[in-house]
Amino acid sequence: MSTVDYALDDGIAVIWLNRPERLNAVVAELVDDLLEALDAAAKSDARAVVLAGRGRAFCAGHDLKEPTPAGDAVDSRARLDRLQDVTRRLRGLRQPVIAAVHGYAIGAGAEFAMGCDLILAAEDAVFAFPEVSLGLSVTGAASRLLPLLVGPLKAKELLLLGERVSGTEAYELGLVNATVPADDLMDTAIAWAAKIASHPAAAATMAKRALDSGIDSSLDAALELEVSHALITEHSAEVAASSEAFRSRA
């Protein structure tokens, strides 16, 4: 795995997104590597998982410096389903997953965090959902999970206005569980994971499954609708223009 690091120690699996030179922005290779790391955690004896980002950000969303992948609707569908598998895999793990978010958690980055069971944010974290402003569709079950976390009206505000919120504001909205100083982020995340790992593993899994059962009853429908919308939007003239403008920046 060249874009994701994986380590297992004392019952805790730590997965690092590792494209720091691009703020861990999402490309196909990162999605593949992240799924591989999640599979490794699933097969391990880990009792808790931490997802974090190397460098200055958790994940800055899709890498708009990369050209839109060529291909027909079948190819696009396969690529989008692969991206959605990150949410499916995170929620499907038997181990509780903690997102340790610092710096940017934008678009797909915020959606990766929401796929986790707990979200711990550094005070310097920045969350945003800019898809609408770019002519794109949300992914990662944001259409289902975001309203559950912050309420329908605030979810529409975050999506339609695309404004950024700090880690502290995210906590006030209910988007994250807690905020800590950036220097304390990983220590706190590991402490949370260690506490979970100290509990009987079967009980933690059953608690996760029980809580997710009601949430996930509509998750598959949300993921399917998001893919349908993404197939419509990603090859539009508006997206082509916004992507070209981003790639042409100095």
> How do residues 30-53 score in pLDDT, each as one tens digit?
999 999 999 999 999 999 999 999
Query: Quick one: pLDDT at residue 137?
Result: 84
Q: Which residues are catalytic?
A: 111, 131
Under the phi-then-psi rule, with left for phi > 0, alpha for psi from -120 to 50, and beta for the rest, what region is 93? beta
pLDDT in tens, 81-113: 999 999 999 999 999 999 999 999 999 999 999
Q: Are 38 and 8 in contact (CB under 8 A)?
A: no
The whole-chain average pLDDT of the chain stands at 90
Q: At what angle do helices 142-150 and 152-161 cross, to 10 degrees?
A: 120
Higher pLDDT, 248 or 230: 230
Single-letter amino acid, residue 204: A
Of all residues in the chain, what percent carry a pLDDT higher than 90? 72
Query: Quick one: pLDDT at residue 67?
Result: 72
Query: Quick one: pLDDT at residue 65?
Result: 82
Query: Quick one: pLDDT at residue 215?
Result: 75
- The label of the residue with tokens 């980055």 reads 109
CA R_g for the chain: 17
Q: Are 137 and 233 in contact (CB under 8 A)?
A: yes
Q: Are 12 and 47 in contact (CB under 8 A)?
A: yes
Q: Which two tokens stand for residue 79?
A: 């690529």
Query: Quick one: pLDDT at residue 1?
Result: 84
Judge whether residue 250 has pLDDT over 50.
no
pLDDT in tens, 161-193: 999 999 999 999 999 999 999 999 999 999 999
- State pTM to two decimals: 0.87
Q: Are 106 and 131 in contact (CB under 8 A)?
A: no
Q: Are 18 and 34 in contact (CB under 8 A)?
A: no
